[in-house]
Structure 1
Amino acid sequence: MTRQEVAVARSHVEAWKEVVSGSHDFVLILEDDAWFKPGARTAIDRGWRAALGRFADNERPQLLYLSYSDAGGTAVRHEVCADLFRPVRGLWFLSGYVLSREGAAALLRAMPVVGPVDLWMNYRFPEVKALALSRPAIAQRHDVTSDNAYSMMPFLARAGIVDGVSEAKPTGGAVCGPVLAWSGGRENECLAMALSMLGMRVRAFDGHEVPMDHRELSEVLKTFDALIDPPLAPAALTAAAADDRFLWLREADARAPDVVDSLLLPPRRSAVLRLNDQGGGTWRDICSLLQVSEPVAPFPSGVPREFRMFRDGRLPTDLNVEAPSRRESMPIDDSPWALPTSSRWRPSRKKDSIPNSSGCVVVEATMSEISPEFRVLTETFPGNLSSFAAGGLEHREDGVRVVIDVCKGEGRPYQSGAFVSARSFSYGRFQAQIQAVSGSGLVTGFFLHRGSPRQEIDIEFAGSDPRRMLTNVFFNPGDEGTEMDYGYRGSPCWIDLGFDATEGVHEYAIDWRPDRVTWLVDRAVVHERASWDPTPIPHLAMRVYGNVWAPRSEELAGRVDERALPASASFRNVVVAD
């Protein structure tokens, strides 16, 4: 089998194991690139009713095909009714089907899978009493190779139909030896972004820093995998050239130190990044040097140099300090876009200065009534025990109440409310007056968020610990539209408030600038992050959100006490200043 066929077979086998060990008699299994045809809901409903209604219990199907392809028009089938047939052989694709617990056990007993799993299934039809819809209701994408980048699972998770969405994990650290690279000094920094997208921790320099000697270079490379325009003493350059681990990269118009030209580096360790017609680079030169596959995403245009992305903005006093206590911090994402645990990162010390807030107010909503600037959110996300619905928002004279309660219908056990801004914003101050929800297992959120790539800046309150505020940042690299959405923990840390956030209204704000993020409570700075503290600063436009939710994990907020429901948080006077 090909590598892709092995991966598909493994994914189905894992799904069968989950069905056997689960609590449901029947489970819907979908491949990642499936899509529903028009009329699918009606066809599936009629076929399912027919499958259950036309057969005795001992003859009911254990597998019902919702998606298939007739292999070259050779499929042999016995018609059952207008909605169903019993396949004999000749069905291709296995991208959507309903499977019973007994059927999953029968398939596992028939292991191993020999050849493509959908072909192997043709020999299992009698064992699982297979049926199929008269016409497939679900299809696979055939314009692209099956790839998680086109997965429908995140959309099903947002709708609350499924909860767990498996994430491909990015490379945790360098994909090769350390990289020394020099850019052409253009307005947009694309080289640093490209190396970051390839899974490297990238630190960029401005050129006026004090040159590093070999010992200082070694220390920096304990944290970072690639250095852009590094200020290096000649002896450090010579030592790096003699070390076969180092790779050297330069843009075609880069102004590298003169000594670099005299090092006579072998081609396997050095490359020149050629520029395209738009002044950007191409993946081929970089990926050939690093010996990695070229990403599906276009080569990035990068960010303006003035944004100072990938600079190490931490203060010297914040470096080389003791690791944070559990009360101050929580585990952070293990990704190339967060400092490694070996860096001993801890939250920066609170700054005394208050960021200039003289920006122009672009949104101001009392939230006492439905506003064109904010719309109701009716979806959810993995890890949330509640689904968001319009009924979870109650507009009153003193703002909007976000109510969470037990849900008596199907799906998630709780129903809550959420709102989101009608448009996205690039930098600014985002503030609201909030009284957080009280109760174990409940969280109040006020945050900025985007997808593709995923970036986020959070304020959250756990109802079980309302005297603290949780701040968080999620970062993924790339231009707008890049499918990089890794991370489920971010880089969180707790901030002591000195009061109970559930007992009264207080003003909370996120001040988001290109080079730093500052959190304020009642207009006083309580926390600040610079670049690589411990992540780069998000750089793409995001929307403003407010919600109340119930984490599936009890580590964040404890277990939901349903006796305390319904419960609510209040939001009012939401302001955005650019």
Structure 2
Amino acid sequence: MRLDKASGWLRRLAFRASRAAVSLVGGGRISAFGVGQGKIGMILVINLDRQPQRLRRTLRELSRFTTSDGDPLASLAHRLAAVDARDGRAVAATADVDQTYRLGAHLYVQPDARLQACFGVDEPVTMTRQEVAVARSHIEAWKVIVAGSSDHVLVLEDDVWFRIGAAAAIDQGWRAAAGRKAGRGGPHLLYLSYEDAGGTASRADVCDALFRPERGLWFLSGYVLSREGAETLLRAMPVVGPVDMWMNYRFEEVGALALASPAILQRPDGGSDNSYSVLPFLARAGIVDTDTAPEAPRADVGPVLAWTTGRDREGLAMALSMLGLRVRAFDGDEHAIPASELSALLNEFDALVDAPLTPCAVSAAIAELGAKFIFEANARTAGAIQPGVSPASRTAILSWDEPGEASWQPICALLGLATPIQAFPEGAPRAWRLFRDGRPVMRSASGDARWVGPMDDTAWTLIPRSDRPSLPRPGRADRSRGDLLAHATMTTPSPLFLGRVETFPGNLAAFAREGLQYEDGARLVLERMPTGDRPYRSGALASARPFHHGRFEAEIRAARGRGLVTGFFLHREAPRQEIDIELTGDEPHAMLVNVYFNPGDDGAAIGFGYRGSPCRIKLDFDTASDFHVYAIDWRPDCITWSVDGRIVHERVGWDPTPIPHLPMRLHANLWAPRSKDLAGQLDELALPSSAMFRNISIWT
């Protein structure tokens, strides 16, 4: 079976079986390693404290080989504790790492015309916490090398394996490198493991065994570094951007060399929680694509009851939500919850924050063996459980005095959960009532609106109680407008709403400047025109800046044709949140509304879900025949959608998601879904097709 044809768990199983078979046979002698001058005298294995199994696996791999002295190669190995991205203090701002870099640095390593067409080379990119942790781990390795006694050290990450023929390739490359650097202390940097950056690596001075890279190598899974080379890298700090990218800028000054082909490879079965800062840019440029999203976390920890001090920001509720718990928060002045109601609440929610309980409910909560209790120091517990009453083994008291001192550790220790990569959140303002349940006790079904399933099954979505959502009360007036923040007729280009050159996963079209025209408004044209790796070209625009709550309105005439979606929506990443109006070509007498919610403060890289919580609303006209006024009115505790001044749908907290709480940009686009489920099979005979947007307005 070819491993590149296997997928998922089958591929991992096949790889492990092959490695198990290989482990029965020795890998041979690697004479480059050993004691004495001109030898690689030490191996540093970078390994996280929480992943001892990966260290054991790496040592087993090293034990297959022997040094020039006949000793196991593993005898040279020393573990270096990796910096953990889950430790907020370890990845905080430091003089060693500049966490903001320019997209041009990525393009220097791996040029790509599609990426450069979408973004300028000066586009700022912020490193992820994982990238910062990796960079700091390698910096610590360089410091160990400078302080040590070995002239040359192999630095290994703990997810590697040696390919067949590795021993001969390393020895041949080491002899060639030592010969070229004779009299200069040997090679200062030799890559034994790397990935050619999309086949664009620039190589010079090539021989059979190795080459001199000028740029274009990714990964730092395995490289030999001299003491002098480590000193050179430390003098060149700070590391700016991902460390493997930054190393490309150091090739000349450190005299980098690389084996003609990698002898050490990354394991495909190791699993990783790494996150890459450039990925959102690659996705928007259409360079990477996927129709699926990773499965969202759901914490199975039993019911959690928590009480806070009532600060202005609700950090604890947000933290529990980020851990994968379905959280309901209370203001504290609601009626006291009896035991029977508490049981029903805990069937629907995983965690209750500041819940007022009756004495019977207190007793029932303590008697629930799986229940956990969390108290902020000096928490408001009137009418609730007191910290000294709840079982000590199931209780955590958070002793920090200021929000900036908050930590994941006591909460995760109590719940038995891994510490998240993201920083502990400040949370949303309490006045916004983010995790409150605003659903009416009774709601009537409506034949004019229906849920479109299946929804994303996450900790941030409640499956609706009824098959059909209710419409607003008949005759309810649309919300009055506030102050005008932005307005553009869109008959000519506007600095308020800019054309986009990008795409996104699941879109068959790439957005290009040619897809946006100005006539009686902004015309977005989707046509059969291969653009990048997409078969169609279309247009899109977005507000020049994000907005935080308000009314978002436009006159829209939708595109006609199956397989097409005319979108008018608010959107953000990190965390991903979205409020949609979508007019789909397969149902021209309806509109689709949708909400995506992920928890976290601004910058938290949480982006689960690709279905959202969609609902289709019947309309009494053809959306592609004429202009109609569509509006999204987004408030902290409610979202309403209206058409021609009539409210057609509304949502409150947990109906079925919390209300998005972070600033978002307003977007308009015309796209073709890769999936047929959203808008049907694309009808190419209807192309080109266009959607029109005019009089886009944003109000407070």
TM-score by length of 2: 0.64
Equivalent of 1:306 in 428, 431, 438: 431
Give 1:353 deviation, angstroms: 2.8
Structure possessing the higher radius of gyration over alpha carbons: 2
8 Å contact from structure 1 (residues 510, 520) kept in 2:
yes
Classify 1:202/1:40 alpha carbon distance in 2 versus 1 (closer, same or farther; 3 Å).
closer
8 Å contact from structure 1 (residues 357, 429) kept in 2:
no
8 Å contact from structure 1 (residues 328, 495) kept in 2:
no
Q: Distance in 1 between matches of 2:325 and 2:494?
A: 43
8 Å contact from structure 1 (residues 323, 344) kept in 2:
no
Equivalent residue, structure 2, for 1:22? none
8 Å contact from structure 2 (residues 449, 616) kept in 1:
no
Q: Where does 1:277-296 land on structure 2 (aligned, <5 Å)?
A: 277-278=402-403, 281-296=406-421
The answer as to 2:649 corresponding to 1:524 is: no
Amino acid at match of 1:139: W
Equivalent of 1:485 in 601, 607, 619: 607
8 Å contact from structure 2 (residues 556, 691) kept in 1:
yes
Amino acid at match of 1:241: I
Equivalent residue, structure 2, for 1:171? 297
Equivalent of 2:284 in 143, 158, 161: 158
Larger relative contact order (C-alpha < 8 A, sep ≥ 6)? 1
Give 1:550 deviation, angstroms: 0.1
Equivalent of 1:220 in 345, 351, 366: 345
Give 1:346 deviation, angstroms: 4.3
8 Å contact from structure 1 (residues 241, 263) kept in 2:
no
Amino acid at match of 2:618: D
Give 1:243 deviation, angstroms: 1.5
8 Å contact from structure 1 (residues 431, 574) kept in 2:
yes
8 Å contact from structure 2 (residues 501, 512) kept in 1:
yes
CA offset digits 1:39-97 (Å, max 9, x no partner): 64399xxxxxxxxxxxxxxxxxxxxxxxxxx979955789xxxxxxxxxx973145856
Equivalent residue, structure 2, for 1:428? 550
Q: Where does 1:314-353 land on structure 2 (aligned, <5 Å)?
A: 314-318=439-443, 327-340=450-463, 343-344=465-466, 346-351=468-473, 352-353=475-476
User: Greater shift after overlay, 264-273 or 562-571?
Assistant: 264-273
Classify 1:97/1:419 alpha carbon distance in 2 versus 1 (closer, same or farther; 3 Å).
closer
Identity fraction in percent:
47
Q: Distance in 1 between matches of 2:449 and 2:566?
A: 21
**For structure 1, which runs of at least 5 residues remain unmatched after alignment?**
1-8, 18-33, 44-69, 79-88, 99-128
Aligned with 1:459: secondary structure? strand
The answer as to 2:541 corresponding to 1:387 is: no
Aligned with 2:659: secondary structure? coil
The answer as to 2:315 corresponding to 1:193 is: no
Equivalent residue, structure 1, for 2:523? 401
Equivalent residue, structure 1, for 2:541? 419
Classify 1:237/1:97 alpha carbon distance in 2 versus 1 (closer, same or farther; 3 Å).
same
Aligned with 1:195: secondary structure? helix
Give 1:409 deviation, angstroms: 4.9
Equivalent residue, structure 2, for 1:265? 390
Q: Distance in 2 between matches of 1:325 and 1:133?
A: 67
TM-score by length of 1: 0.77
User: Greater shift after overlay, 325-334 or 566-575?
Assistant: 325-334
Q: Distance in 1 between matches of 2:482 and 2:448?
A: 36
8 Å contact from structure 2 (residues 490, 696) kept in 1:
yes
Amino acid at match of 2:283: A
The answer as to 2:214 corresponding to 1:92 is: no
Q: Distance in 2 between matches of 1:95 and 1:287?
A: 40
8 Å contact from structure 2 (residues 176, 210) kept in 1:
no
Classify 1:139/1:471 alpha carbon distance in 2 versus 1 (closer, same or farther; 3 Å).
same
Aligned with 1:261: secondary structure? coil
CA offset digits 1:163-207 (Å, max 9, x no partner): 2176332223x4301001111111111111111011011001112
Classify 1:218/1:156 alpha carbon distance in 2 versus 1 (closer, same or farther; 3 Å).
same
Q: Where does 1:28-67 land on structure 2 (aligned, <5 Å)?
A: 36=106, 38=108, 40-41=110-111
Equivalent residue, structure 1, for 2:25? none
The answer as to 2:482 corresponding to 1:359 is: yes
Q: Distance in 2 between matches of 1:223 and 1:325?
A: 27
8 Å contact from structure 1 (residues 75, 90) kept in 2:
no
Q: Distance in 2 between matches of 1:250 and 1:72?
A: 60
Amino acid at match of 2:400: L
Amino acid at match of 1:458: D
Amino acid at match of 1:238: S
Classify 1:283/1:355 alpha carbon distance in 2 versus 1 (closer, same or farther; 3 Å).
farther
Q: Where does 1:126-165 land on structure 2 (aligned, <5 Å)?
A: 134-135=213-214, 137-140=216-219, 141-142=242-243, 147-150=273-276, 152-164=278-290
User: Greater shift after overlay, 521-530 or 278-287?
Assistant: 278-287
8 Å contact from structure 1 (residues 250, 271) kept in 2:
yes
Classify 1:575/1:442 alpha carbon distance in 2 versus 1 (closer, same or farther; 3 Å).
same
Equivalent residue, structure 2, for 1:113? none
Give 1:256 deviation, angstroms: 1.1
Equivalent residue, structure 2, for 1:60? none
Classify 1:560/1:258 alpha carbon distance in 2 versus 1 (closer, same or farther; 3 Å).
closer
Equivalent of 2:618 in 496, 501, 515: 496
Aligned with 1:295: secondary structure? coil
Classify 1:500/1:38 alpha carbon distance in 2 versus 1 (closer, same or farther; 3 Å).
same
Equivalent residue, structure 1, for 2:592? 470
Give 1:296 deviation, angstroms: 1.8
Equivalent residue, structure 2, for 1:86? none
Q: Distance in 2 between matches of 1:364 and 1:480?
A: 26
CA offset digits 1:76-133 (Å, max 9, x no partner): 789xxxxxxxxxx9731458566xxxxxxxxxxxxxxxxxxxxxxxxxxxxxx99989
RMSD: 3.4
8 Å contact from structure 2 (residues 357, 384) kept in 1:
no
8 Å contact from structure 1 (residues 339, 345) kept in 2:
no
Amino acid at match of 1:457: I
8 Å contact from structure 2 (residues 449, 471) kept in 1:
no
Q: Distance in 2 between matches of 1:315 and 1:339?
A: 14
Classify 1:402/1:132 alpha carbon distance in 2 versus 1 (closer, same or farther; 3 Å).
farther
8 Å contact from structure 1 (residues 450, 542) kept in 2:
yes
Q: Distance in 2 between matches of 1:508 and 1:535?
A: 22
Q: Distance in 2 between matches of 1:536 and 1:475?
A: 7
Classify 1:130/1:317 alpha carbon distance in 2 versus 1 (closer, same or farther; 3 Å).
farther
Equivalent residue, structure 2, for 1:371? 494
8 Å contact from structure 2 (residues 434, 658) kept in 1:
yes
Classify 1:246/1:143 alpha carbon distance in 2 versus 1 (closer, same or farther; 3 Å).
farther
Aligned with 2:348: secondary structure? coil
Give 1:221 deviation, angstroms: 1.0
Classify 1:130/1:570 alpha carbon distance in 2 versus 1 (closer, same or farther; 3 Å).
farther
Give 1:142 deviation, angstroms: 3.8
8 Å contact from structure 1 (residues 457, 473) kept in 2:
yes
Equivalent residue, structure 2, for 1:255? 380
Equivalent residue, structure 1, for 2:205? none
CA offset digits 1:306-328 (Å, max 9, x no partner): 1011100011113xx78999954
Amino acid at match of 2:319: A
Q: Distance in 2 between matches of 1:179 and 1:132?
A: 58
Give 1:357 deviation, angstroms: 2.3
Equivalent residue, structure 2, for 1:124? none
The number of residue pairs the alignment matches comes to 483
